[in-house]
Amino acid sequence: MNFDQIPPIENKQYTTPTKEQMEFLDAWLKNHPDEVIPMEMRRDCEKEKDELISLFNKFEEIHSLKDLTALDIFPPKTEDIEKYQIRIAAKNDLIPIVALLNALKDKTNIPDSEYNKLKEGYKILSRAVGMVNGGKIDHTR
């Protein structure tokens, strides 16, 4: 890509894109479409579905959802740091789960109903880990 073709933004504040910028973006999007694999060309979902269920089970064997949900303040007080290490490990263990969940949706023939059940399973784990928001760990998102 030749970045010299990109029309410059005059100032660093957020502004409405110029006509030239929109034309460039439209052309770029036309030349770089999202790859969507037709359903009939996707691979069978069973192997990855079983693998995902196995990852869910392994996550719950390693990480106590009750202990994760009990964590509420971030960053923790000095005396509580060790307790919060479990959250960091659990958060890292979610990465391959969400990657496999995304692959299931985009590259396999998984029916929407089955995918939605698996996504709900992921949400349970993700909510247990929580999201840091304003110095607190939010377990509702």
Give per-residue pLDDT as tens, 102-136: 999 999 999 999 999 999 999 999 999 999 888 88
Structure confidence at residue 4 (pLDDT): 56
What one-letter code names the amino acid at 81?
I
Q: Which of 2-11, 45-54, 66-75 has the lowest mean pLDDT?
A: 2-11
State residue 79's pLDDT score: 72
Count of CB atoms situated within 10 Å of the CB of 123 = 11
Q: Please check whether residue 91 is in contact with residue 137, taking contact to mean a CB–CB distance below 8 angstroms.
A: no
Q: What percent of the chain has pLDDT over 70?
A: 89
- Cα separation, 81 vs 89, in Å, equals 13
Determine which of 51-60, 71-80, 101-110 has the lowest per-residue pLDDT on average. Answer: 71-80
Q: How many CB atoms lie within 10 A of CB 104?
A: 21
Q: What pTM does this model have?
A: 0.72
* Mean pLDDT computed over 86-95: 93
Check whether 1 has a pLDDT greater than 50.
no
- pLDDT, tens digit, 9 for 90 and up, residues 24-39: 888 888 887 777 778 8
Give yes or no for a contact between 65 and 124, defined as CB atoms under 8 angstroms apart: yes
